[in-house]
Amino acid sequence: MTPGGNNYVSNVWRENIFDGTVVFCTGGGGDICSAQVKALVYLGANACIIGRNIEKTEKVARDIAMVRPGAKVLGYGSVDVRNPRLLREAVQKCASELGGIDFVIAGAAGNFLAPITQLSENAFKTVVEIDLVGAFNTLKATLPFLLQSASRAKSEKSARSGGRIIFLSAATYYTGVPLQAHALAAKAGIDVLAANTAIELGPRGVTANVIAPGPIANTEGMRRLTKPGNEKSVARIPLGRLGNVREIADATVYLFSDAGNYVNGEILVVDGGAWRTHGGDSSYDFEYPNFLLSDDNFGRLRTTKM
């Protein structure tokens, strides 16, 4: 491992374990998803990442490609996961240029803080469409290639894993938290979608699992949804700290590697135990339930919206 590799993947993994494989990732320009893809590319994969912002997506793709000499990482911008046609076009282009798709990360997401009293119907619908419908669209668009990859992986001539999809979710909906009805409803749907995918496509060799990240330091989500210096919130995390993107990337490597061959339909929570204590929960920057009963506090929330 190079020293830089330790920023996005642990040194416990054997190099080149993903040689000859291709990763397709939605939301690939984000902090967490880009780290996931970077780890896989470092370990031998090639990749396609998609996003809505052309310049950002292409830049992140170039940055990811630098982790391994000879790596091919394509960045497709102006692709909205809510648009099945655009997704199918990106998938076809990826498979054509890189030779197929073996692994998929459905990571596109949108979020903001809002109480139900201020949450418009359109805002609720938008988040559900990006997170949940977008995850379904990603599955549908990539499924033909996942099935092909799974078939190859099951053949005696192929020793590599393939035909696997990971959905990104969140553990906070297990208990529910204020200001997140839209996002957590979408994440609950994602978990059900993953479970049904595992049940229906498992017999054909495709595995579907969920990674539910907790509060991850230095990510857009933390910057958008929390206040700086929220020590009390961090103190409630059983492990006493925020997570880092490498820990999500390591979970991804595990599920896509041969170590995860028999893992299907599972939810892997990577949050230091935070969901059990509401540790790191952004909405607890406010005193519950007083802030929900005061109109004065709602003005503070408007600055956190997308």
* Each residue's pLDDT tens digit, 90-107: 999 999 999 999 999 999
DSSP characters over 212-281 = EE--BTTSHHHHHHS-TT-HHHHHTSTTSS-B-HHHHHHHHHHHHSGGGTT--S-EEEESTTGGGTTTT-
pTM exceeding the 0.75 threshold for the entire prediction: yes
The pLDDT score that the predictor gives to residue 1 is: 40
166: tokens are: 């990971």
Identity of the residue numbered 10? S
Is 227 noted as a catalytic residue in this protein?
no
Which CATH class name applies to 18-304? alpha beta
The pLDDT score that the predictor gives to residue 30 is: 95
The pLDDT score that the predictor gives to residue 73 is: 98
Q: What are the helix and strand counts (H, E) for the chain?
A: 10, 7
Q: What is the CA radius of gyration of the chain?
A: 19
Domain spans of the chain?
18-304
The pLDDT score that the predictor gives to residue 111 is: 92
84: tokens are: 């099945």
Q: Which helix (H) or strand (E) holds 110?
A: none
- Set 34, 38, 161, 187: catalytic member: 187
Low-confidence ranges of the chain (pLDDT < 50): 1-4, 303-306
- Set 34, 161, 169, 257: catalytic member: 169
Which sign does the torsion angle of CA 145, 148, 150, 152 carry? negative
Is 187 noted as a catalytic residue in this protein?
yes
The pLDDT score that the predictor gives to residue 2 is: 43
The pLDDT score that the predictor gives to residue 129 is: 98
The pLDDT score that the predictor gives to residue 303 is: 43
Residue-wise over 52-89: b if at least 16 C-beta within 10 A, else e?
beeeebbebbeebbebbeebbbbbbbebbbeebebbee
